[in-house]
């Protein structure tokens, strides 16, 4: 779906990758909004602020009619109308000249989600508050539901039921966060023009192929805040620890698109330390003969084979810390996955770096 406000289209996509190389890094909700707001940052830097509610007591059309009235009263315009023939109707709204659209979507059977989409480079200040204000007005106008009384179980019935029921285990999440505040102004100042260059190449080695990177390379100032985030992410245990970061961390950054050789460059950089992160992936394929059956004819018998195409893929995240120590220098960096003698199937690094010597060349996805 595309929501278009002021002729500036923003494509809503399913979040599948957060381009922070340390594991278990999430984005924190804004402190001034309710705990129900969930924030996700996707690979291109867009941020999705989402809060869920329910339209129980209202039909889908009644819910959207109420929301249309609330939006109009607050100065919003309707960008996309709901399709009531869809299993999950949605409506896009926005308040010009703000570039932040909001997608309202029904989640069956009676849920409804409100998602504000902040495009890369735009600040998120005030977005959670505006989102929660709309949800609050919608919930205030929803009719109260009659209390539903469940038949109470006797102590004996509860005891007997527990004999054949697996106990519920609730995961304990340990929240990790930096002990220094994020200084957006200082991070932006670190990206002001200087006189140095950071030049590099993205590549990987996979099954005799040199894979050249094609995904954007993101550069962040390695502020004390970001360095703490990365350190916490490296020690976080998957499934137990979650690192919370400031939603505006992704605002102060630069992005370079590699060329056909996987080469990229950041020009006019100031002295300092920078964090570079990207991803690389590849899909290779071929064909093989597959047994299809056995036939008997007047002239003889034999096995029948058919040709079958196949493909296989691999991907990896890559991160580097780069120091620019001398004004006017050109700092070179090779960005490739870790080199490991035990990696026999996945995409990894090569001791030859991005050299094409003895390698077939393919381009990453």
Domain boundaries, the chain: 2-144, 181-223+247-363
Tokens at 338, concatenated: 């870790």
- Angstrom distance (rounded) from CA 293 to CA 116: 56
- pTM equals 0.54
Spatial contact of 282 and 362, defined as CB atoms under 8 Å apart? yes
Percent with pLDDT over 70 in the chain = 74
What pLDDT sits at residue 100? Answer: 84
Evaluate whether 2-144 and 181-223+247-363 have a shared fold. no
Mean pLDDT over 194-223 rounds to 91
Q: Are 212 and 350 within 8 A, CB to CB?
A: no
Q: Check if the beta carbon of residue 134 is closer than 8 Å to that of residue 102.
A: yes
Q: What is the pLDDT of residue 11?
A: 32
Token pair for 354: 């991005």
Confidence of residue 227 (pLDDT cuts 50, 70, 90): very high
Q: CB under 8 Å, gap of 24 or more: what pairs does 41-45 form?
A: 41/15, 41/247, 41/250, 42/13, 42/15, 42/16, 42/17, 42/18, 43/16, 43/17, 43/18, 43/19, 43/215, 43/279, 44/120, 44/216, 45/19, 45/120, 45/121, 45/218, 45/250, 45/253, 45/255
Backbone angles phi, psi at 274, to 5 degrees: -130, 150
52-54-58-62 Cα dihedral, nearest 10 degrees: 0
The CATH number for 2-144, chosen from 3.40.50, 3.90.550, 1.25.40, 3.30.530, is: 3.30.530
Looking at residue 208, what is its pLDDT?
Answer: 76
Give the residue-averaged pLDDT of 188-210.
91
Q: Which fold has domain 181-223+247-363?
A: Immunoglobulin-like (2.60.40)
Nearest-CA neighbor of 95 among 72, 77, 114?
A: 77
């Amino acid at each position: 779906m595309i929501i278009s406000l002021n002729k500036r289209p923003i494509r809503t996509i399913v979040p599948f990758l957060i381009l922070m190389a340390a594991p278990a890094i999430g984005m924190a909700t804004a402190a001034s909004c309710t705990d129900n707001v969930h924030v996700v940052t996707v690979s291109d830097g867009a941020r999705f602020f989402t809060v869920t509610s329910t339209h129980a007591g209202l039909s889908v059309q009644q819910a959207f009619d109420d929301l249309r009235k609330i939006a109009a009263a607050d100065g919003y315009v309707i960008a996309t109308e709901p399709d009531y023939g869809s299993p999950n109707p949605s409506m896009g709204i926005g308040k010009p000249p703000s570039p932040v659209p909001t997608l309202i979507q029904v989640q069956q059977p009676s849920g409804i989600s409100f998602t504000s989409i902040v495009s890369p480079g735009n600040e998120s200040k005030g977005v959670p508050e505006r989102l929660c204000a709309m949800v609050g007005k919608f919930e205030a106008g929803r009719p109260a539901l009659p209390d539903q009384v469940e038949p109470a179980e006797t102590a004996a019935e509860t005891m007997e039921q527990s004999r054949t029921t697996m106990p519920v285990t609730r995961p304990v999440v340990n929240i990790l966060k930096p002990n220094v505040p994020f200084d957006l102004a200082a991070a932006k100042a670190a990206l002001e023009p200087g006189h140095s260059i950071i030049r590099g190449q993205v590549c990987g080695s996979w099954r005799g192929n040199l894979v050249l990177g094609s995904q954007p390379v993101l550069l962040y100032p390695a502020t004390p805040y970001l360095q703490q985030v990365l350190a916490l992410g490296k020690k976080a245990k998957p499934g137990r620890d979650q690192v919370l970061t400031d939603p505006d961390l992704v605002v102060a950054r630069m992005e370079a698109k590699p060329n056909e050789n996987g080469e990229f460059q950041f020009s006019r950089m100031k002295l300092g330390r920078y964090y570079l992160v990207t991803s690389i992936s590849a899909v290779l394929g071929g064909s093989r003969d597959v047994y299809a059956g056995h036939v008997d004819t007047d002239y003889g018998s034999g096995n029948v084979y058919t040709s079958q195409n196949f493909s296989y893929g691999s991907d990896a995240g890559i991160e580097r810390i780069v120091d620019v120590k001398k004004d006017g220098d050109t700092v070179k960096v090779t960005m490739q996955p870790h080199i490991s003698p035990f990696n026999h199937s996945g995409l990894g690094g090569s001791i030859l770096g991005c050299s094409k010597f003895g390698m077939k060349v393919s381009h990453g996805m």
